[in-house]
Amino acid sequence: MAELLKGAPVAKAITEELTARCEELKKRGCIPTLSILRIGDNESDIAYERGVTKRCETIGIRVVKTVLPQTVDQNWVLSEINRINADPEIHGCLMFRPLPNHLYERALCEALDVRKDVDCMTDGSLTGVFTGNGDGFAPCTAESCIEILKYYGYPLNGSSAAVIGRSLVVGKPVSMLLLAENATVTVCHSKTRNTTEICRDKDILIVAAGRAKMIDSSYTNPSQIVIDVGINVDSEGNMFGDVDFDSVEPACAAITPVPGGVGAVTSAILCRHLIVAAELANP
Ligand code: NAP
């Protein structure tokens, strides 16, 4: 039976560490503050907002919410972002994406001060991930994958890893984070010819394809660690990963569940970014 790599203990450990750092900042007169900018009332945005708010409250981070109507125009959103940039009491901003189609998302993302970009929406943050120059913050989901592997004590240095997916939110950044940990990484995508063979002999398999239960036991081996990033919801509201858990779990060494795996760690990583941003702003 494979080890179950649950996200909750990882998030708990991060939360405890951040609570102490948050208290330290408050002693120095700084109240770490996250600005949440939501446009419209998308259900999954509201659910994530609830989770983030709860995590922030546990740690002691102040949350300031701004909700704009679905019909908001570009200038209005831009002025909100400029307000956040100019406010020294706000240390980070979470803006839910994708934005409504009538808005020019790239321009709005780029408008955020990179020092407050705790959710990696600017090119400046991505540059930090790809160059490893230490600037900016990685996408929370990508960093959560690495955090889980480290928490459960799986060595990355010298390991071989396959990543399925090459999006800028998960696949590419997680590949760079693995590389920074001295793993040897192969990235697979929809045009890769022999994905099954590439994955099968790797120490670590990270799946972010957005295809429910796509990965079965033919992709794995008995000593492999499988990180399932996928979130797929069926018509009855049941959640599934990109990995067929029932097929893969008996055939690998360790696996993250869905739900309760990677997704359970992301809000803790977001909070860590916020605390680091507050520390950098208050040296
Ligand atoms: P995405 O932008 O749709 O990217 C999917 C990637 O998978 C693409 O690079 C695509 O290749 C590749 N792919 C699709 N089918 C494939 C196949 N048959 N074989 C190999 N590669 C294939 O998705 P994403 O935003 O990265 O998200 C991926 C998954 O993670 C989704 O299920 C999403 O819901 C989930 N997610 C979870 C969290 C979390 O907190 N747990 C956060 C974000 C996303 P091409 O580039 O060639 O099209």
Q: Give 135's pLDDT tier (boundaries 50, 70, 90).
A: confident
Out of 24-28, 42-46, 192-196, pick the least confident: 42-46
Pocket test for ligand 1, best of 45, 169, 188 (most atoms within 8 A of CB): 169
Q: Give 243's pLDDT tier (boundaries 50, 70, 90).
A: very high
Taking only the tens place, the pLDDT of each residue in 139-190 is 999 999 999 999 999 999 999 999 999 999 999 999 999 999 999 999 999 9
Residue type, 64: V
Write the CA distances from 234 to 58, 141, 226, 231, integer angstroms.
Answer: 32, 22, 22, 10
Are the CB atoms for 261 and 248 separated by under 8 Å?
no
Pocket test for ligand 1, best of 44, 49, 96, 167 (most atoms within 8 A of CB): 167
Using the mean position of ligand 1's atoms as its centre, give its distance from the Cα of residue 84 in Å: 31
Across the range 68-93, mean pLDDT stands at 98
Can you give the length of the chain in residues? 283
Taking only the tens place, the pLDDT of each residue in 87-96 is 999 999 999 9
Q: Is the pLDDT of residue 133 over 90?
A: no
Residues with Cβ within 8 Å of 33's Cβ and at least 6 positions away in sequence, in order, are: 61, 62, 63, 64, 89, 90, 91, 92, 278
Give the mean pLDDT of the chain: 97
- In terms of DSSP bridges, do strands 239-240 and 232-233 run parallel, antiparallel, or are they unpaired? antiparallel
pLDDT of residue 41: 95
CA pair distance 104, 122, nearest whole angstrom: 14
pLDDT of residue 30: 98
pLDDT of residue 103: 98
Residue nearest to atom 47 of ligand 1 (CA): 190
pLDDT of residue 134: 80
Are the CB atoms for 212 and 235 separated by under 8 Å?
no
- Atom in ligand 1 nearest the alpha carbon of residue 191: 47
Residue nearest to atom 16 of ligand 1 (CA): 190
Are the CB atoms for 174 and 205 separated by under 8 Å?
no
Across the range 230-236, mean pLDDT stands at 92
What residue ranges line ligand 1, CB within 6 angstroms? 141, 164-167, 169-171, 188-192, 195, 208-211, 214, 229-232, 242, 262-263, 266
